[in-house]
Amino acid sequence: MKTWEEVINEEKEKDYYKNLEKQINSKYETSTVFPPKEKIFNAFSKTQIENLKVVILGQDPYHGFGQAQGLSFSTPKEIKNPPSMQNILKEIEDDLKRPSYCLDGDLNPWAEDGVLLLNTILTVEESKPKSHHKLGWEIFTDNIIKYISQNCKDIVFILWGGPAIAKTKIIDRSKHHILTAPHPSPLSSYRGFFGCKHFSKTNEFLESIGKKAINW
Count Cβ atoms within 10 A of the Cβ of residue 152 and give its class: 0-12 exposed, 13-18 middle, 19 or more buried: middle
**Which residues have CB under 8 Å from 38's CB, separation 6+?**
none
In DSSP terms, 179 is beta-bridged to 158
- Calpha distance 27→198 (Å, rounded): 36
Say if residues 181 and 193 touch (Cβ distance below 8 Å): yes
Catalytic residue among 15, 60, 95, 172: 60
60 assigned to active site? yes
Residues carrying an active site annotation: 60
